[in-house]
Structure 1
Amino acid sequence: MRRQSLSLLLCAASVALANSNASAGFIDDSKVQLQLKNFYYVHEVDELKAGQMQDYGSWTQGALFSAKSGYAEFGPLKLGLDATAQYAWRLDGERSNADYVLPYNYTTHKQQDDFGKWGVTLKAKVSETELRVGEIFPMTPIVYFDPSRQLITSYEGAWLESKDIKNTKVTLGYLWSINARYNNQFDDFTLWPNEVAVKDDKRSDGMYVAGIDHQLTKNIALSYFYGEMRDIYRQNYLGVDYKKQLDAKNKIASHVHYFDNREAGDAMFNEIDNQAVSFKFDWTHGPHMLEFGYQQMFGEHTLDAPYFPSIAGWVPQPYLSNWSVAAFVRKDEKSWSLGYTYDFADAGIKGLSASVKYYDGWNIDNNGLNGNYTSGKEDEVDVVINYVKPEGKLKGLGLQLKYINVDYANVENFGDVTEYRVTTSYTHTF
């Protein structure tokens, strides 16, 4: 009911704005796009064992239509409206396992053949402060949207960003629901890896976010964020980022991020005690880019909350340097990564790049799961080839090939995994 009322209000607002005397900027500065995406996905478990996830995957075609208005001006107040519509359908045969690309029915044990989602956002702006109400696509250390599969994760709520203070951005938000990348409806929040599509009593009706980003100098940026999933967990984040162009061919970047996570309110998942330190260093020399990452987990990590706390729905945490398929977020885990990327533009092939990255995690405390009190290890190899047509009639046509291999050693309920992803995409701007 809340979503229907909000949608009707926003649609009425759009009609009023489009027909107002101040609507010139609303129409003239609008941007309309259609994004098409073909996604082939295979997730294979090398040796299936009881309690482990099974093989899964799908081949889908998706479309994302987005319309972003300009602003109608009413004195110092500017108003606008954005809208999105997403739809995807299966191209291969029926599957009986959840693949987190298409919706899955846990009663019939069937994937849906197709699904869609839509959203609208009212935006109001005064000077350099903007309030957005409706569908939100946040990009913060606390909550992030997810474009990694077919359709995109979105949220509903109210989101304010202000850049009125020089070199500073202030963020305040309250989100009341999530529409996961593989879902066709908005749900209450819960803790990953619990499934958002399975209803239980451990649900949070909202998430608070507050943060500040400050550009201290030309090269140094500082950030602090606080987030709270009501009655589940609260999160404090500190970040220091450094970037410097050394000369015409060389530039470096380093990122140090720290998270402190605790239970909140009624503590639906009991005690949560996790801290994480993440470091990443990048060096770019012409077409070559070398990156190194280190990540470490601290804290008690009870069996009710065994990982770094994040949002159910497979929401990513890109502010951790080693976040990947394995994620490297288990109790006491330490991990490092080394990656290399080459841009073939220097060799005369514009739009083509290739990368390989290796992750190694160790010191995993199995925490007594299934009676296992010994340490485990995991490692991952990612190989990515990416091409985007840089010019011509089909400018923007993209192809990405991704191979991922994860090996586990003495990690309870997990078997070695191989993934294949093939993505073809095209964006048309009207």
Structure 2
Amino acid sequence: MMMRSKKIKLLSLAILSIGLSQNALAEDHWKLFLKNAYIDRDFDNDAVKDTGSWSQAISLFYDSKFQDTPIDQLQIGLDANVQYAVRLSNDKHAADSVLPFDAQSQKQASDYAKFGGAVKLKYKENVLKVGEIWSDSPVANIDASRQLVGTYLGGTLSSTVNDHLSLELGVLSKYSARNDDQFRKLSYTQNGNKIQSDGMSYIDLKYRVNDQLKAAYSFAHLENIFNKHYVGLEHNYALNADTQLNSKVRYFNVQDTGSIAAIDSQNIGVIETVKYKNHTVAAGVQKIVGDAFPALDGYIPELYFVNWNVTGFFKKNEQTYHFIYGYNFKDYVPGLNALVKYSYGEKIKLADGIENNESELNLIGAYNFQHDYLKGMGLQYLFAKYDTKYGNDFDENRFFVTYTKKF
């Protein structure tokens, strides 16, 4: 109880200290975010413990406008945030990847908090950030899929070279997972061996060929572990006022750098999406060539895969087919959207040489309230049914109630 009271006190002081500066920076951007999350995973195998929890989070985000400095055209700013979550349900004594879990005592934390910030400098079309990094890169993503957001520690330099080309350079030293209140070294676990890295350096290049075609290339070096290349192409084409086509081709190549990890993996993905009025239909194929794709510890997602699910369809030699149908109910219930996704993965090579397969069905619904008094409030629901030939099947339900207030 004393530790929890201390965390709440620190949270209150942090929010108060940020709030006191608001008068001086009235034109800056603030966002209050509330998230109530219920997550439950029910395994078909009675020998496997079910996981999940019910929690409430409150977060405050601050994004300052750039202020002039004595140096001509050099401006400075600050980003900061406070995130806090408390468990409302009983402790199931199981790791659910939502709140911190002590494997030794088999206890889940009753609450936890994250504090972060970054100093930013702007010179012409170049922005340097140092501190907590919310990376949106094909080689380094943040995770907001559960409760509090997983982020990095490091620095980035973003630059708009011209109307067609932009680039970003990044150095990331540590990562704070979605269920952790500490920044820890980036690491990768293979065959039970955890390999730590002193950091990742990367470069992102984005090139707009024309209004319809975009190209991207990224390279990341994770010290002591691997090098990762990414190439992406995206094409948009409007058949008419009601029908648009979107085509994506994405390729990843990851090779070890001579560490104790043995990594030789490629991911090739293609997805075609057709939008007609309120309907969205998509079909895609994703192929893993070689080893299982090396997902880093800490549940760091690979959001640039053409197929990223509740479970990871990136096992050794796996080939995945996925189909999506979405509908926007804006003509009947404004703010309501629904989506169905089915993924089937085959040709998975297990350690003993046996071939496995797996499938996942997702049903997703989201509603954003339209009434003036309820603006900023949203509901999201996800149902996932996972089946595999060799392994543990499960059903998962996620229900979120969110509220966002910008000021």
Asked whether the two chains share a fold, i.e. TM above 0.5, the reply is yes
Q: Which of 79, 94, 98 is the matching residue for 1:97?
A: 94
Q: 2: distance between equivalents of 1:194 and 1:401?
A: 35
Aligned-partner SS, 2:185: coil
> Does structure 1 residue 360 correspond to structure 2 residue 340?
no
SS, match of residue 25 in structure 2 = helix
| Secondary structure in structure 2 of the residue aligned to 1:345 | coil
Q: Distance in 1 between matches of 2:189 and 2:280?
A: 33
CA contact (8 A) 1:39 1:421 kept: yes
1:127 matched to 2:118? The reply is no
CA distance, structure 1, for counterparts of residue 161 and residue 376 of structure 2: 34
In structure 2, distance between residues paired with 1:330 and 1:175 = 26
- 1:316 corresponds in structure 2 to 301
Q: Distance in 1 between matches of 2:239 and 2:148?
A: 39
In structure 1, what is the equivalent of residue 218 of structure 2?
225
Tell me, which stretches of 5 or more residues in structure 2 are unaligned? 1-13
Counterpart AA for 2:254: N
> Greater share of strand residues, 1 or 2?
2
Q: How many Å separate the matches in 1 of 2:253 and 2:351? A: 20
Give distance in 2, aligned partners of 1:106 and 1:230. Answer: 28
Residue 38 of structure 1 aligns with which residue? 36
CA distance in 1, matches of 2:275, 2:326: 9
What amino acid sits opposite 2:31 in the alignment? Q
Q: Distance in 2 between matches of 1:201 and 1:331?
A: 19
> Is the 1:32–1:429 Cα contact (8 Å) retained in structure 2?
yes
- Is residue 48–residue 415 contact of structure 1 (8 Å, CA) maintained in 2? no
- Count residues in correspondence: 388
Q: Which residue pairs with 1:238 in the alignment?
A: 231
Partner amino acid, structure 2, of 1:277: I
Structure 2 residue 407 is the aligned partner of structure 1 residue 423? no
Aligned-partner Cα distance in 2 for 1:400–1:219: 32
Spell out the pairing of 1:6-21 with structure 2 (5 A cutoff): none
Asked whether 1:326 is paired with 2:311, we answer yes
Q: CA deviation at 1:353?
A: 0.8
Instruction: Report what 1:186 is aligned to.
Output: 183
Task: Please say if 1:289 is aligned against 2:284.
Answer: no
1:374 has 2:369 as partner? no
> CA offsets, 1:340-363, max 9 Å, x none?
0110002x2100011111001100
2:302 alignment partner AA: Q
Does the 8 Å CA contact 1:344/1:350 hold for their aligned counterparts?
yes
Mean Cα displacement is larger for which, 56-65 or 309-318?
Answer: 309-318
Matches within 5 A, 1:148-227: 148-191=145-188, 202-227=195-220
In the alignment, is residue 272 of structure 1 matched against residue 270 of structure 2?
Answer: no
Change (3 A) 1:143 1:112: same
Letter in 1 for 2:344: D
- Structure 1 gap segments, 5+ residues each: 1-10, 19-23, 302-306
Whether 2:50 is the aligned partner of 1:58: answer: no
Residue 255 of structure 2 is aligned to residue 254 of structure 1:
no
Asked whether the 8 Å contact 1:250–1:286 carries over to 2, the reply is yes
> Which residue matches 2:4?
none
Hey, what's the Cα distance between the residues in 1 that align with 2:200 and 2:216? 19
Once the two structures are superposed, what CA deviation does each residue of 1:334-388 show, in whole Å capped at 9, x if it has no partner?
Answer: 0110010110002x210001111100110011032xxxx1111000000011101
**1:233–1:309: 8 Å Cα contact kept in structure 2?**
no
C-alpha contact 1:32 1:68 (8 A) present in aligned 2: yes
Offset at 1:262? 0.5
3-state secondary structure, aligned to 2:136: coil
- Give matches, 1:298-313, under 5 Å: 298-299=289-290, 301=291, 307-313=292-298
- What is the aligned partner in structure 1 of residue 389 from structure 2? 409
Using the TM superposition, name which of 332-341 and 312-321 deviates more: 312-321
The alpha-carbon deviation at position 390 of structure 1 amounts to: 2.8
- In structure 2, how many angstroms separate the alpha carbons of the residues matched to 1:141 and 1:311? 14
Native 8 Å contact 1:29 1:71 kept in 2: no
For residues 146-204 of structure 1, what are the alpha-carbon distances to aligned partners after superposition, in whole Å with 9 as ceiling and x for unaligned?
11100001111011110132221101000000000000000001115899xxxx86211
Structure 1 stretches of at least 4 aligned residues deviating more than 2 Å after TM superposition: 26-29, 192-195
TM-score of the pair, normalised by structure 1: 0.87
SS at match of 1:319: coil
